[in-house]
Amino acid sequence: MPAEWAPHRGTWLSWPHCEASWPGKFAPVPGIFAEMVRLLAPHEEVHINVSGPDMAADVLELLRPFALAPGRVVLHENPTNDAWCRDHGPCFVQRALDGRAEQAIVDWDYNAWGGKYPPFDLDDVIPTRIGAAYDIPVFHPGIVMEGGSLDVNGAGTLITTEACLLHPNRNPDLSREDIERCLRDYLGVRQVLWLGEGIVGDDTDGHVDDLTRFTDQQTVVTVVEDDPTDDNYKPLQENLKRLASMTDQDGRPLRVVTLPMPRPLDHEGQRLPASYANFYIANGVVLLPAYDPPRDEVARATLQELFPTRRVIPLDAVDLAWGLGAFHCVSQQWPALT
């Protein structure tokens, strides 16, 4: 599985339509997606799953003022239950065979984070539908897995969390060793690193893309909470401690860079899983969720140093976070064949 910063052919999105995911706050969400498309399309193709002609027309009308170049946005009639393409979208893998690059899709089973939000039948088949449309081979490991639960450095190391992958609502009959074997077999990794708990308010049971992300083959950024009275303080300190002793696939210590957490973000009494780790790396740009201007700038400056050839763009994610996710959660990279 290539790292997210490897060259992309494009980005996959599933257009938002499930108002129950943003109760009382759905109205601004399509506009946030449109802004993502505006920022991504100059750098790579943007492929969007839509339910049919009516939704396609709505999407095109939202994008019309941007006057994007022809061919940069491609709509696909792939109905979905929800918009979280990171978790239900295709996981692309590559290999070189006889001097020629080949690509395949890994289609994990998907159960909406342990059966929390049925129905999810349409989301579950999205990777196979995309494979059929582009004549890309599809592999079915037969275990539940979401894209947001793992992150790779593209050189053989994967990072994930015990809270999510070992949760009994995913694969109760599989041991840690069984899950590691599957990750090695289907993603080509040699080293699996385990963090502990996720952040407060994360309904995915602790996705790593709200915690810790690779930014190059040996560097990770990880979020930390400075307030000892905050519920996130202890689990994030524990994850930081684990990272200090971790090594990559070649036995080299990880370089660990910290990101702040935004101030607690609540809506109608619910703590939202707002995190600067939920950024999306694309060709030429990094989309950074923005929640809290002073801390947004600290996160932006930190990531800008780590991605000197890309522009780090803060984009208001407060309304998006009411759906319990941000830009990484709604996107899935399509690596270019290299």
pTM here? 0.97
Residue type, 119: P
Report the pLDDT averaged over residues 127-156.
98
* Residue 20 φ/ψ region, left for φ over 0, alpha for ψ in the -120 to 50 degree band, beta for the rest: alpha
pLDDT-derived band at 280 (thresholds 50, 70, 90) equals very high
- Known active-site residue 329: yes
Name the phi and psi angles at 249, rounded to 5.
-65, -20
Q: How far is Cα 75 from Cα 55, in angstroms, rounded to an integer?
A: 10
Give residue 199's pLDDT: 98
For the record, the structure tokens of 72 come out as: 């940069």
Q: What is the pLDDT of residue 238?
A: 98
Can you give the pLDDT at residue 168?
97
**Token pair in block for residue 338:** 């290299």
The pLDDT value given to residue 173: 97
Write down the pLDDT at residue 245: 97
pLDDT category of residue 41 using cuts at 50, 70 and 90? very high
Q: 99 pLDDT band (50/70/90 cuts)?
A: confident
In angstroms, rounded to a whole number, what is the distance separating the alpha carbons of residues 323 and 23? Answer: 8
Average pLDDT over the chain, rounded to whole? Answer: 97
Closest CA to 30 of 9, 47, 13: 13
76: Cβ–Cβ under 8 A, 6 or more apart, which residues?
47, 48, 49, 50, 130, 133
- Categorize the per-residue pLDDT at 281 as very low, low, confident or very high, splitting at 50, 70 and 90: very high
Q: Which of 165, 259, 154 is nearest to 212 (CA)?
A: 259
Residue 37 has pLDDT above 90, yes or no: yes
Q: Detail the DSSP E strand segments found in the chain.
A: 8-14, 45-50, 73-77, 91-97, 100-106, 138-139, 151-152, 157-161, 191-195, 212-214, 219-224, 255-260, 266-267, 270-271, 280-281, 285-290, 311-316, 331-335
- When pLDDT is cut at 50, 70 and 90, the band that residue 16 belongs to is very high
Please enumerate, as own/partner, the contacts of 111-116 that have beta carbons within 8 Å and a separation of 24 or more: 111/144, 111/169, 111/170, 112/81, 112/82, 113/87, 113/146, 113/169, 113/203, 113/204, 113/205, 114/167, 114/169, 114/170, 114/205, 115/169, 116/203
Angle at which helices 53-63 and 29-40 cross, to 10°: 70
Residue 97's pLDDT is what?
87
Residue 180 has what pLDDT?
Answer: 98
Given a cut of 90, is residue 268 above it in pLDDT?
A: no
Give the pLDDT mean for 298-302: 98
Confidence of residue 105 (pLDDT cuts 50, 70, 90): very high
Of the candidates 91, 164, 182, 329, the residue annotated as catalytic is 329
pLDDT for residue 107 is more than 90: yes
Cα–Cα dist 197/234, whole Å: 10
Q: Go through the domains of the chain in sequence order and give each one's CATH number.
A: 8-335 (3.75.10.10)
Residue 231 corresponds to which tokens in the numbers above? 């519920």
